[in-house]
Amino acid sequence: MLWRPAYVGLGSNLDNPRLQIERALTALESLPRTRLQRRSSMYGSTPMGSVVQSDFVNAVAVLETQLEAGELLNALRALERELGRSASTERWGPRRIDLDLLVYAQLRLEGTQLQLPHPGIVVRNFVLYPLNEVAPELEVPGHGRVAELAAQVSPEGIWRLEDEAMPP
């Protein structure tokens, strides 16, 4: 079976967000026929939208997978539920964990459940900055290289978190 690269964005702003990101990264390692290859540093970011909420912690994981794109998306949704994500009715509202499939190989897809590359990737600094850290040469299908895309978004509202010991 063919191994394909996949890039996953992680985000959290509830229940010790750094710990939630670490838990999600560990859970990604347990996906069938999938290997965690790299992970970015964690970044703090101000929330999108008008909902008043805490700042987010974001990161990006680089996977190699034999799962098809739809299978991987389903596995990510199942992990979110296992990690305690509740169904939210608020767009861009607070969440314990969010796992977004950003790029899958060079696949371009416009489905109702899955769009690839992720439709917000080119305008979200909290996605592009950590993605640039782990894959600056990645060609985002239809958009260009990650390094070039990251250089086009403002650094406002995002900061790299120092590698501190996580609280118990």
Is 166 part of a structural domain of the chain? Answer: no
Global confidence as pTM: 0.92
Is 60 part of a structural domain of the chain? Answer: yes
**Amino acid (one-letter) located at 132:** N
The one catalytic residue in 15, 55, 77, 100 is: 100
3 pLDDT more than 80: yes
For range 117-143, the mean pLDDT = 96
85 catalytic? Reply is yes
Is 167 part of a structural domain of the chain? Answer: no
Q: Predicted confidence band at 168 (pLDDT cuts at 50, 70, 90)?
A: very low
CATH of the domain at 57: 3.30.70.560
The one catalytic residue in 39, 85, 96, 124 is: 85
The one catalytic residue in 98, 145, 160, 163 is: 98
Q: Identify the domain containing residue 77 by its residue range.
A: 4-160
The one catalytic residue in 39, 95, 96, 124 is: 95
35 catalytic? Reply is no
For range 27-41, the mean pLDDT = 96
Is 92 part of a structural domain of the chain? Answer: yes
98 catalytic? Reply is yes
For range 148-166, the mean pLDDT = 85
- Cα 7 versus chain centre, distance: 7
Number of compact structural domains in the chain: 1
Residues 6+ apart with CB under 8 A from 152: 122
166 pLDDT more than 90: no
Is 131 part of a structural domain of the chain? Answer: yes
